[in-house]
Amino acid sequence: MADTLGLPAGGRYHPRHRRTHVLQIMTAFSCISLIGPMGAGKSSIGRQLARTLGYEFCDSDKELERRTGVDIPVIFDIEGEEGFRRREKVMIDELSQGDRRVLATGGGAILDPETRQRLRERGLVIYLETSIAEQLRRTRRDKNRPLLQTEDPESRLRGLMEQRQPLYRETAHITVNTDRGGLQQLVQDITRALDEWNELR
């Protein structure tokens, strides 16, 4: 059995093994898109994954904020969720065409069927799965999430998960649970999953 770096069990780690492992992934995938609910870790994991692979990292929400000059809640206030989704669709259409890029998408990006199709066709899609309890823990102090500005965030998250989880699963090539493990361990889990996927293609 091999460990997360492709070494035999009990084998000694050598930087050459890691370089070979990463190079295999780099040559196999153009755009790696991360989908999943808010609080799943798409931005933090995506940034570290990109650094590990030598890819560019893009966050569709952050790029939308940068280009519009306002935060996501302001877009929601002015244009509503429908207006935000239109902007999000255009942004992801552009960003998903990048080469050697890790793309973190917003939690509701998969609501659009054309976006789901484009993400699958243009690269590899990873669903970062997490529990409602972890979502609540990770987002409880975050005021930059318009959909959670409610008296009962837990009920809202459960409703969103019921609606979106089938779409996450339908869109993803790979699913990785992010409830447990530090950032480095989760990135190792993902690179191992990418390696296994590449071997099966």
97: tokens are 């065409």
Confidence of residue 137 (pLDDT cuts 50, 70, 90): confident
Average pLDDT over residues 26-37: 82
Can you tell me the mean pLDDT for 25-37? 80
**4/1 Cα distance (integer angstroms):** 10
DSSP state of 140: T
Confidence check: pLDDT of 106 > 90: yes
Q: Quick check: pTM over 0.85?
A: no
For 179-198, the pLDDT digits (tens) are: 988 899 999 999 998 888 87
Q: Token pair of 156, please?
A: 């809202």
Q: What is the pLDDT of residue 96?
A: 96
List of domains in the chain: 15-200 (3.40.50.300)
Give the residue among 98, 121, 120, 110 at the shortest CA–CA distance from 38: 110
Lowest-pLDDT choice from 9-13, 125-129, 190-194:
9-13
pLDDT of residue 98: 85
Helix (H, G, I), strand (E, B) or coil at 32: strand
Q: Give the tens place of pLDDT for each residue, 138-179.
A: 877 666 666 566 677 788 889 989 999 999 999 999 999 999
Cross-strand bridge partners of residue 125: 33
Query: What pLDDT is attached to residue 157?
Result: 87
- Where does the chain have alpha helices with state H? 15-28, 42-53, 60-68, 72-95, 113-122, 132-139, 153-171, 183-200
Degrees, nearest 5: CA angle 65-87-107: 75
* Whether the predicted pLDDT of 8 surpasses 90: no
Element (H, E) at 34: strand 31-35
What percentage of residues in the chain have a pLDDT greater than 70?
A: 80
Q: How would you class 199 by CB atoms within 10 Å of its CB: exposed for 0-12, middle for 13-18, buried for 19 or more?
A: exposed
Which amino acid appears at position 152 of this protein? D
- At residue 56, the 3 state secondary structure works out as strand
46-83 confidence digits (pLDDT tens): 999 999 999 999 999 999 999 999 998 899 899 999 99
State the Cα–Cα distance between residues 125 and 34, nearest whole angstrom: 6
* Phi, psi at 35, each rounded to 5°: -120, 165
Contact present, 118 and 92 (Cβ < 8 Å): yes
pLDDT at 6: 34
**Residue 188 Cα to chain centre, angstroms:** 15
Is the Cβ–Cβ distance between 9 and 198 less than 8 Å?
no
